[in-house]
């Protein structure tokens, strides 16, 4: 599992004009391949009269799923350069659609490759990226008497409290880097006089 990955900060659109053709790049975070496909379909529906709606997406922190489409442009001149730009910038869980409205001037294969790849690069620069770090989910169970102070202490020490549930006891879900688990276990025992219970859960990614 990758320690971290980058993704696009938000959904958005960036437009550029090259030799009278409009290139509109729409970017969106996509947690699954289905989300990426839904985004592509949504953009296509928004631009039914465009000359082309080419797309590329990368799903998985390790870029396990990679897809690209030229949508009628000459083979390898649109979707692939878009995909290569996403990979070169090391962004994951992202979908890109470049909509082209033809302006009457042919760009040639080299011009198309630069235009489609460049549109994605400019959109990434405009919208920005964020880094998501791998962490371990940890569940802490503590009595009501100590819960309030413990939660405050956790937040004060910068630990990511993801969820707090109140029942007979109070359970808190926390995200920690794997390397911090031992230190956290010792800190927790000290902070609660050994009364808190700690369980290690699975792994996930969060913003850094």
pLDDT of residue 157: 86
The CATH code of domain 4-127 reads 3.30.230.30
Output DSSP code: residue 103: -
pLDDT of residue 162: 87
Domain borders along the chain are: 4-127, 131-207
State the Cα–Cα distance between residues 162 and 141, nearest whole angstrom: 14
User: Over the stretch 48-97, which tens digit does the pLDDT of each residue have?
Assistant: 999 999 999 999 989 999 999 999 999 999 999 999 999 999 999 999 99
Residue 207: band (very low, low, confident or very high) from pLDDT cuts 50, 70, 90? low
Burial of 43 (0-12, 13-18, 19+ CB in 10 A): buried
- 173: Cα within 13 Å, side-chain hemisphere: 11
- 161: Cα within 13 Å, side-chain hemisphere: 19
pLDDT of residue 13: 98
CB atoms within 10 A of CB 178: 13
Cα–chain center distance at 58? 10
- 8: Cα within 13 Å, side-chain hemisphere: 30
Under 8 Å between Cβ of 37 and 129: no
State the Cα–Cα distance between residues 8 and 125, nearest whole angstrom: 10
Which of helix, strand or coil describes residue 151?
Answer: helix
Q: 83: which strand partners? A: none
pLDDT of residue 23: 98
Please compute the mean of the pLDDT values over residues 175-190 and round it to a whole number.
Answer: 90
Please compute the mean of the pLDDT values over residues 86-113 and round it to a whole number.
Answer: 96
User: Over the stretch 13-37, which tens digit does the pLDDT of each residue have?
Assistant: 999 999 999 999 999 999 999 999 9
User: Over the stretch 125-154, which tens digit does the pLDDT of each residue have?
Assistant: 999 999 988 888 999 999 999 999 999 999
pLDDT of residue 135: 85
From 3.40.50.300, 3.30.450.20, 3.30.70.240, 3.30.360.10, which CATH number describes the 131-207 domain?
3.30.70.240
DSSP 166-200: ESSSEEEEEEE-GGGHHHHHHHHHHHTTT--EEEE
State the Cα–Cα distance between residues 129 and 91, nearest whole angstrom: 8
């Amino acid at each position: 599992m990758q320690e971290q990955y980058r993704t696009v900060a938000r959904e958005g659109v960036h437009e550029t004009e090259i030799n009278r053709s409009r290139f509109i790049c729409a970017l969106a975070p996509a947690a699954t391949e289905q989300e990426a496909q839904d985004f592509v379909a949504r953009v296509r529906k928004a631009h039914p009269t465009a000359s082309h709606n080419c797309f590329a997406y990368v799903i998985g922190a390790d870029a396990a799923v990679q897809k690209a489409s030229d949508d009628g442009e000459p083979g390898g001149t649109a979707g692939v350069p878009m995909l290569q730009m996403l990979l070169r910038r090391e962004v994951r869980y992202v979908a890109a659609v470049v909509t082209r409205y033809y302006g009457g001037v042919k760009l040639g294969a080299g011009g198309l490759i630069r235009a489609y790849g460049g549109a994605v690069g400019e959109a990434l620069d405009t919208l920005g990226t964020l880094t998501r770090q791998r962490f371990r989910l940890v569940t802490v169970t503590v009595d009501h008497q100590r819960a309030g102070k413990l939660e405050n202490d956790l937040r004060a020490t910068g630990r990511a409290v993801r969820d707090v549930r109140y029942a007979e006891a109070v359970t808190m879900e926390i995200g920690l880097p794997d390397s911090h688990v031992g230190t956290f276990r010792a800190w927790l025992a000290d902070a609660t006089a050994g009364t808190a219970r700690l369980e290690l859960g699975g792994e996930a990614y969060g913003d850094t």
